[in-house]
Amino acid sequence: MFDIKSLLKRSVEKELLDVDDYIFMPERIELDIDGGRLICVLNSDGRVDIFYSKHDITDVRSAARKHPFTAFERELSHGLYDDVISDLVDDVNDIIEKKSRYFHDEIVLPSTAPLVIDAPKKSI
């Protein structure tokens, strides 16, 4: 049996849930975790950017808004972006723990004298 009421209801719900039609009030929430600084930004287009900085290393991830009609702070407090944050923190910690094959603290690169180029002299 064809149910017109449920069809119309689904159509209206689809239109209401189209996040691209909405403009969100930008928000920024900052906190310190694991010795670094976490910044969560809700952009006006509904995109969520998450920045993590530690020991001068910064990485960023973007995520789509998961529950557009819920307060951004509530989304964060319920852990909706915890998977993204966890990956971000792990990646920054991995970068900090890595060591270069080429650059080491015990190797001091020699400095060279600055190059001085004599300008041609003009004759009058």
Q: Does the structure show a pLDDT above 90 at 119?
A: no
Is residue 37 within 8 A of residue 53, CB to CB? The reply is yes
What single-letter DSSP state applies at residue 69? T
pLDDT in tens, 15-40: 555 555 667 889 999 999 999 999 99
Helices (H), the chain: 4-16, 72-77, 82-97
**pLDDT, tens only, 99-112:** 888 777 665 656 66
Going 80 to 84 to 89 to 93, the CA torsion angle's sign is positive
Q: Percentage of the chain surpassing pLDDT 90? A: 46
